[in-house]
Amino acid sequence: MRASLRFDRAPRRVYWEVTRACDLACRHCRAEAAPEPDPTELDPEEGLRLISELAEFGPPLPHLVLTGGDPLKRSDLFTLIAAARQ
């Protein structure tokens, strides 16, 4: 098996809960959402570093899913998306 296809060495999918912040309280949601971001969330620099580290796995790159809470509550969401697309 080629090293690049070793699933024990690189993830195929990464689900990153970019924030717990959410203005809703849906009964069906399992997220521990709150109106304000959690103080331990990755800051913008840490988020970009995480994306860079994921890219180091090489091909095939993992499929990154940005979820939450409400990801749109992050002011840097579109910067994170642009970095992940690169």
For the chain, the domain total comes to 1
Predicted pLDDT of residue 6: 62
Query: Sorting pLDDT into bands at 50, 70 and 90, what band is 72?
Result: very high
How confident is the model over 18-64, as pLDDT tens digits? Answer: 999 999 888 887 777 788 999 999 999 999 999 999 999 888 889 99
8 Å CB contact between 30 and 67: no
Q: What pLDDT is recorded for position 1?
A: 44
Q: Which domain holds residue 57?
A: 3-85
Q: What is the model's pTM?
A: 0.82
Asked if 62 contacts 14 with a C-beta cutoff of 8 angstroms, the reply is yes
Q: How far is the C-alpha of 60 from the C-alpha of 53, rounded, in Å?
A: 14
pLDDT 10s digits, 48-60: 999 999 999 888 8
Q: How far is CA 49 from CA 1, 42, 44, 82, 83, in A?
A: 29, 10, 9, 13, 10
